[in-house]
Amino acid sequence: MGMTGERAPICEMLTAYAGSRRTAFHVPGHKQRAAWHVGNADERYQPLLEWDVTELDDTDDLHHPTGPIAEAQRLAAECFGADETRLLVGGSTAGNLAMILGTAEPGELLIVQRNAHRSIFHGLMLASARAVLLPPEIDRESGLGVIPNVQAVAKALARYPEARGVVLSSPNYYGMAGRLRPISEVCHAAGVPLLVDEAHGPHFGFHPDLPPSAMQEGADLSVQSAHKMLSALTMGAMLHMRGTIVNREAVRQALRMVQSSSPSFPLLASLDLARRQLHVEGSKAFEPALEAVRRVKEGLPDTRFRSVGPRNDSGSGVGDGFRYDPLKLVLHDAEGRLDGFRIRDGLSARGCEAEMADARYVVLAFGIGSRPEDGDALIEALRDLSADSGRSDRTPERPRPMAMDGGTADIPEPVQFRRDRGGRSESVPLERSVGRTAAEWIIPYPPGIPELYPGEKINEAILYRLAEWKKQGANIQGAEDPSLRSVRVFLAD
Amino acid sequence: MGMTGERAPICEMLTAYAGSRRTAFHVPGHKQRAAWHVGNADERYQPLLEWDVTELDDTDDLHHPTGPIAEAQRLAAECFGADETRLLVGGSTAGNLAMILGTAEPGELLIVQRNAHRSIFHGLMLASARAVLLPPEIDRESGLGVIPNVQAVAKALARYPEARGVVLSSPNYYGMAGRLRPISEVCHAAGVPLLVDEAHGPHFGFHPDLPPSAMQEGADLSVQSAHKMLSALTMGAMLHMRGTIVNREAVRQALRMVQSSSPSFPLLASLDLARRQLHVEGSKAFEPALEAVRRVKEGLPDTRFRSVGPRNDSGSGVGDGFRYDPLKLVLHDAEGRLDGFRIRDGLSARGCEAEMADARYVVLAFGIGSRPEDGDALIEALRDLSADSGRSDRTPERPRPMAMDGGTADIPEPVQFRRDRGGRSESVPLERSVGRTAAEWIIPYPPGIPELYPGEKINEAILYRLAEWKKQGANIQGAEDPSLRSVRVFLAD
């Protein structure tokens, strides 16, 4: 920490540049002048436009940094416990694509958890990689999928010694994090890297109440959305690399392919500032948000709503071997009168906007910008909703997630990923879909594990599982027909 | 035009959202509060943070838009003469990648001009496409490469009837635009789409003095960097589609793969505002910038510096069949005392920052934000530099670009693109590089046409050409060793 961590090299450069008051005969075309005349748009943008500059000799080059960007990346690596950190302007999406593209050549094999973010699947498609898709373990209390267990990973690595790496997503959207240390040890014993999509966990490891980060748990590469829980602008993310197993230059080259050759400096500066905040404030930066959550949890017993995860105040407890992010509050109606969507809508009508909802849960995301009074506002809304919630015409059942192999059964066969057939597709009745290739995602929530992804061939087993979800009236996200009467498949060649 | 064009749906939505003062329990983590305490960073960001929101029901979804983003895209399509426009947050890079990925399946063939932007080559690599790389015509006056001539395109399409499309980059970095109408006609006669990387020409077609746009010239798909010459924030770009030859859903799907799943709303709003400015102001929006250029051109005869292109005041004239963007001023020293780099440095020392320089030219980019007084500042700097330029120890010769087949000679063999070997490479002396595969770009400026790209196999002909450039002391960009004594190649398998 200390003086060096207090520096913000990109911001310092931009401040100096803006102060030099040179006349710009280079892009961007706005020349640091707003002339939009809509509402107060000019006032909103004008202060930041002076920092919306281009890559010049003194502003540095994101793809081959040697100046302030390189320095900001070194400070970020120090702060996040990496050997090398790359600032990303294309979100965790860019990092996840580069992580896959930098690790697998066409036809090479990766071990990937099935409930990964779409960008991981997109990376597999762009890489033309093969993947063994491991089902995650299901949290018994919530019915949600987390990560595959270490035995399944070890078994997959033993069966497929040609694997180039293991790709996990942790924490999940609900803030549940897997224990990565045993898995990184299994990976390293097999000589392959552990790559973690940690988009939802950029704050991990910065406070005793927060789970440790993937870097701290021995991952070789991790990708974090600094905008999700830290203070960076949306699309600001980071890719961290450690150790010598990963071919770092291959990852850097992949980033050059998938990210803009005209990166946004306000975005880069916001990453620099987000890192500086952690460097300077340390764990104190999260106290206001943790206090907000504490106030909500204290008030919950007065309402019908209960939270998933450990009951202790710090929120960092352990359930079923998982760790819970205390800054994600996952609530459900203990009396079963309101489903997740209705809780969300009820809170929205009371001025509190949630992050997401499913058939059972509503997810409330706190962040480094949350204040204790936000907790007061939420508990007030929950009390009001609890007292006056009208009647629900849907009675959400406890989720009955299908076992999906449980994480320890047989290791699935590898799948060859390729880009799909370019969108020429049709909708067919579910019962007539066997043998066809899916053109859409079918993801029941919970557990949030894709039953079908574009490019997957539909067989009898998949048809059975889809029919089961349909019978349960599951909440299907991403599907064209959420009732699952029909499914979109690619036209036959 | 009229009332509809005056609307700015994304800005209106964001203004309403910010005004609703709800408490955010969703990402981003800053919760619209800056707390960075560095210089005046908080003041710079705070006004815009209120618009840095996430994809919610009422803010819309960039990847499946149905609300304000869809409406903003419809207005953009109307404004730019497209049937469908997609707003891009990943720069023209994202648009170029999607253009290629949406058109070519692995192994399929495209006709591509050789002096395309790197993102086009990256698209070919990610698509695992084959490409016939056509050399561009060389402008006789400047020695710069523009686009292949129509005869070469017709010949290539006749020889390769399996081609899925023709990919051009126009205008080039120096503002020289090819005539696309005859080429779009040849493409359509062959039943293939014309795809244009028009990153440098988002302003084309909006003023009588500006060249027509690719859409106006019959292109099926074009990608424009709205930040380069219009008023959008850096990384703001657009992809336009017309007609029925392009598989639009395939392009949309490719965009979903390469762009962030958490797009930046301030960026999207800036695209909305940039479009609105054109819709409302029309050609008047460019008068201040054109007046700035006029003032410079009027003053040029008093200096040693001369501009490339037509001598008439409007700047829209024709030379060698090319059109010149009047908002790009390409200057050289008529007495040959200062090379392009020294002109750039001399101007920088006098408070005028240029866009780029090469061994002969300096490029000055005006934009929609340029003001007449910017022209006064530049001509004053040029006068001063002309009078007091010291002595140059390098005498730049007139460029002697090698013919590179002239654009009408034999059509080259197709190249199978694939992602490279992941960065394991070494540097070898140029004379020992035959038979090896290049791991870097070698691009002499002018003419800015790659002599070598990563993945290209070095043969005797290429070695000869590289040796010629070396002898000339050419300005090589992108190379690890710009003196061309050595070249970086991939390690043998």
* Residue among A467, A172, A373, A274 at smallest CA distance from B52: A274
Q: How far apart (Å, rounded) are the C-alpha atoms in residues B444 and B478? A: 9
Distance from CA of A474 to the nearest CA of B (A): 21
Do B327 and B288 touch, CB atoms closer than 8 A?
no
Summarised one tens digit per residue, pLDDT across range B212-231 is: 999 999 999 999 999 999 99
Confidence of residue A376 (pLDDT cuts 50, 70, 90): very high
Return the pLDDT at B260. Answer: 95
Residue type, B383: R
Tell me the two tokens of residue B416: 């199978």
Size of the A and B interface in Cβ pairs below 8 Å? 350
Q: How far apart (Å, rounded) are the C-alpha atoms in residues B337 and B44? A: 43
User: Between chains, do A273 and B247 touch, taking CB under 8 Å as contact?
Assistant: no
Name every chain A residue with its beta carbon within 8 A of the beta carbon of B52: 233-234
Tokens 């006609």, located at residue: B185
Summarised one tens digit per residue, pLDDT across range A415-435 is: 989 886 565 789 999 999 999
User: Between chains, do B374 and A232 touch, taking CB under 8 Å as contact?
Assistant: no
Give the residue on A whose Cα is nearest the Cα of B279: A36
Q: Which of A42, A204, A235, A287 to mutate to test the interface with B (most CBs of B within 10 A)?
A: A235
Instruction: Closest CB to B367: pick one of A8, A31, A125.
Output: A31
Let me know the angle formed at the C-alpha of A33 by A30 and A35, rounded to the nearest 5 degrees.
Answer: 90
Distance from CA of B151 to the nearest CA of A (A): 31
Tokens 């081959």, located at residue: A64
Cα separation values, A193 from A93, A185, A187, A188, A441, Å: 19, 10, 6, 7, 28
What is the Rg, in whole angstroms, of the alpha carbon atoms belonging to chain B? Answer: 23
Residue type, A322: F
**pLDDT (average), residues B438-466:** 85
What contacts B205, CB < 8 A, 6 or more positions away?
A: B81, B211, B212, B213, B215, B216
- Higher-pLDDT residue of B234, B37: B234
Give the residue on A whose Cα is nearest the Cα of B50: A44
Name every chain A residue with its beta carbon within 8 A of the beta carbon of B207: none
Tell me the two tokens of residue B253: 């799907």
How many Cβ atoms from other residues are within 10 Å of residue A143's Cβ? 18
Q: How far apart (Å, rounded) are the C-alpha atoms in residues A203 and B30? A: 12
User: Between chains, do B369 and A235 touch, taking CB under 8 Å as contact?
Assistant: no
Summarised one tens digit per residue, pLDDT across range A478-490 is: 788 888 999 999 8
Instruction: Closest CB to A33: pick one of B270, B352, B369.
Output: B369
Highest mean pLDDT: which of A190-204, B138-152, B333-347, B443-457?
A190-204
Distance from CA of A28 to the nearest CA of B (A): 5
Summarised one tens digit per residue, pLDDT across range B51-98 is: 999 988 788 989 889 999 999 999 999 999 999 999 999 999 999 999
Let me know the angle formed at the C-alpha of A187 by A183 and A191, rounded to the nearest 5 degrees.
Answer: 165
Tell me the two tokens of residue B216: 């106006």
Instruction: Closest CB to A93: pick one of B8, B233, B260.
Output: B260
User: Between chains, do B419 and A258 touch, taking CB under 8 Å as contact?
Assistant: no
Let me know the angle formed at the C-alpha of B274 by B273 and B275, rounded to the nearest 5 degrees.
Answer: 90
* Residue among B83, B238, B250, B235 at smallest CA distance from B165: B250
User: Between chains, do A367 and B261 touch, taking CB under 8 Å as contact?
Assistant: no
Cα-Cα-Cα-Cα dihedral sign, residues B315, B320, B321, B325:
negative
A251-265, A350-364, A419-433, B255-269, range with the lowest pLDDT: A419-433
Return the pLDDT at A317. Answer: 45
Name the 3-class secondary structure at A442: strand
**Within 13 A of A267's CA, how many CA atoms are on the CB side?**
31
The answer on pLDDT for B493 being more than 90 is no
Alpha helix locations (H) across B232-361? 248-258, 265-281, 287-299, 340-349
Summarised one tens digit per residue, pLDDT across range A217-228 is: 999 999 999 999
Read off the DSSP letter of residue B139: P
Alpha helix locations (H) across B106-189? 118-127, 150-159, 181-189
Return the pLDDT at B302. Answer: 94
Summarised one tens digit per residue, pLDDT across range A196-238 is: 999 999 999 999 999 999 999 999 999 999 999 999 999 999 9
Tokens 């943070």, located at residue: B49
Instruction: Closest CB to A29: pick one of B11, B228, B348.
Output: B228
With the CA atoms of B407, B411, B412 and B418 taken in that order, what torsion angle do they form, in degrees rounded to the nearest 10? 100
Q: Name beta bridge partners: A329.
A: A364
Give the residue on A whose Cα is nearest the Cα of B120: A257
Return the pLDDT at A491. Answer: 84
Alpha helix locations (H) across B308-356? 340-349
Share of chain A above pLDDT 70, in %: 92
Name every chain A residue with its beta carbon within 8 A of the beta carbon of B423: 247, 249-250, 252-253
How many Cβ atoms from other residues are within 10 Å of residue A328's Cβ? 28
Q: Name beta bridge partners: A445.
A: A475
User: Between chains, do B30 and A276 touch, taking CB under 8 Å as contact?
Assistant: no
Do A264 and A119 touch, CB atoms closer than 8 A?
no
- Higher-pLDDT residue of B1, A422: A422
Distance from CA of A395 to the nearest CA of B (A): 24
Distance from CA of A269 to the nearest CA of B (A): 9
Q: Is A410 exposed, middle or buried (0-12, 13-18, 19+ CB in 10 A)?
A: exposed
Q: In which order are the strands placed within the sheet that holds A322-324?
A: A176-177, A322-324, A318-319
Return the pLDDT at A425. Answer: 83
User: Between chains, do A369 and B48 touch, taking CB under 8 Å as contact?
Assistant: no
Distance from CA of A23 to the nearest CA of B (A): 5
Do B187 and B148 touch, CB atoms closer than 8 A?
no
The answer on pLDDT for B372 being more than 90 is yes
The answer on pLDDT for A16 being more than 80 is yes
Return the pLDDT at B3. Answer: 65
Return the pLDDT at A481. Answer: 87
